[in-house]
Amino acid sequence: MTDEIPDEEREALLTIVHGAAVTSGGVSVQRLLSTATEFVLARGLPPAVYGVYALAWRIAQLLIRLVTFGSVPTLQRYLPAYEGEPGGQSRVAGLAYATTLGFGLLIAVGVWLAAPTINALTVSHPAFPSTMGLFGLLVGLFGLVMISAAVFRAVGSARGEVLFNKILRPVVRLGGAFLALALGYSVVGVAGAIVGATALLVVLGVPATIRVTGIRPTFRSARREGRRFYNHAAPVAMSSLGKVFQNRIDLLLVGALLTAVAAGIYNVVLVLIAIAWIPLLSFNQLLPPVATDLYANDRMVTLNAVYSSATRLIVTTVVPILAVQAVYGQTLLGVFGEAFVRGYVPLVVYLGGVFVGSAVGATGWLLMMTDHQYARMALDWLLAVLNVLLTYAFIETLGLSGAALGTSLAIAIQNGLQVLLLRRFEGLWPFEAAFLKPLEAGIVMSAVMLGVRVSIGGLQAVGIGTVAGLIAYVWALSVLGVDPRDRLVVGELAGRYRNAIAERFPR
């Protein structure tokens, strides 16, 4: 059956899944480091003070999404197009760095000015303005790190992108936080230490990116490139701004309508949710440049087959994560402290949005890579307004669970509409009957884990139940039948990695 898969589709799939394998390791390390940071801070700071940090950090994360002004997707779109033309790549990279630096400075000034007002409207804590102001400086620094990582990604180097964006960035955050707490500093000292460590990463990382990739940013003749660059970047940036209101307004509203403690609890929920997004992020690592190449060469049948296969693999890998968090969520939240167990219902509600977002695959990226960035921008803003209204109403009536419900609905609606737009514009449609098999296997896995939870309980049940559940999941998939493309991917990549290990560690 695998012989019937066209060579072009086979190569595209292997490229995407190899990137996903490399990225998943890096993203897993990133999530582990981020979780460790939150654990250290949740344990090292009083709940209300940790809530101050959580709100300031999440606001900074929102601004980090905006600071590159659409430069990251634009690098994915145009650096591959200039392959073999170093001058064009240098101009695109120069515009990306300059744009990020300029917006970083504007955001830093704006945050310093707005921090007292934000404090008055939300947590009303004396440490918040200084903490938020320092995180305003962090936004631009993280933006420059993201551009360096995006250059690696655009030239097809998943390892370089993973190193900078998925490992070094959370490492400096954890290191700065741990050092500040060890020296006895509170939340303002933690923010200052993270900013200092990130500045060191930028000073060392940007020159290293230039040296390794050979793409030296330049502003010569950048004016003629600017119109094309910003024609793609501007609507993407507006989409990013819309997405801030669409699926990141929840924590801001929690801080404004509830308490600092509630903001801290919700932040820990988001830490666990970030782990559930790993499969989608991993498969989206090298899908954009692959999709760009197939689209440019009018290989739409191959693009649809690759999109469908990648989406099915995303579903297959995300279902076990969702099952573990749904079954053992209370125990996992309790690790951060007894107060955080209150976040279990919001966690389960949010997992529904993660499932829908993962089950449709790379809809947002595909809209951008097929030159429909303006359609995505309009959709992002339409749903941003809807999300703000829904989330506000739900928080007023349901509290923390309302925040998760509003965001989950926004994720589900947007991704559903994006699938329909892709089908309308390009005829792309990922779904087939094989998508039901991971869901059926997930039910078997959940039943096994529930049995372990009832029999044992506590943290011990999480470890034993997860192992038993994964065994049951793999068994159920094998009984239901594995798609030939999935067997191809697993078999060829396993052989490739075995050979690589054998060459590096000969007997």
Flag whether 104 is in a domain: yes
Question: Which whole-number Å values give the CA distances from 165 to 117, 309, 398, 399, in the listed order?
Answer: 32, 26, 36, 34
Flag whether 111 is in a domain: yes
How many distinct structural domains can be found in the chain? Answer: 1
Q: What is the pLDDT of residue 499?
A: 67
Helices (H), 155-257: 158-161, 169-182, 187-213, 222-247, 249-257
Residue 331 · residue 253 · CB < 8 Å: no
Q: What is the pLDDT of residue 331?
A: 92
Helical axes 300-334 vs 7-44, angle rounded to 10°: 20
3-state secondary structure 350-380: HHHHHHHHHHCCCHHHHHHHCCCHHHHHHHH
Flag whether 208 is in a domain: yes
Flag whether 127 is in a domain: yes
Flag whether 282 is in a domain: no
Flag whether 398 is in a domain: no
3-state secondary structure 303-361: HHHHHHHHHHHHHHHHHHHHHHHHHHHHHHHHCCCHHHHHHHHHHHHHHHHHHHHHHCC
Residues 54-75: pLDDT tens digits?
889 888 988 888 888 888 878 8
- pLDDT tens for each residue of the chain, 507 residues long: 445 677 777 777 777 777 777 667 777 777 888 888 888 888 888 888 888 888 898 889 888 888 888 888 788 777 776 676 767 778 888 888 889 999 999 999 999 999 999 898 887 889 899 999 999 999 999 999 888 888 887 776 667 777 777 788 888 889 999 999 988 888 899 999 999 999 999 998 888 888 887 888 887 766 777 778 888 788 777 777 766 665 567 777 887 788 778 888 888 898 899 889 888 888 877 677 777 778 877 788 888 888 888 888 889 989 999 999 999 999 999 988 888 899 999 999 999 999 998 988 878 778 877 777 788 777 777 777 877 888 888 998 998 899 889 888 888 888 888 889 888 888 888 888 778 899 999 999 999 999 999 988 788 899 999 999 999 999 999 898 877 777 777 777 666 667 666 666 665
Tell me the two tokens of residue 246.
């669409």
Q: How far apart are CA 320 and CA 446, in angstroms?
A: 8
Q: What is the pLDDT of residue 466?
A: 94
**Coil, strand or helix at 83:** coil
Q: Is 179 exposed, middle or buried (0-12, 13-18, 19+ CB in 10 A)?
A: middle
Flag whether 215 is in a domain: yes
Residue 205 · residue 148 · CB < 8 Å: yes
Residue 328 · residue 282 · CB < 8 Å: no
According to DSSP, residue 287 is labeled H
Tell me the two tokens of residue 151.
């250059």
Q: What is the pLDDT of residue 274?
A: 86
Range of the domain at 122: 45-235
Q: How far apart are CA 493 and CA 499, in angstroms?
A: 10
Which amino acid, residue 184? G
Q: What is the pLDDT of residue 505?
A: 60
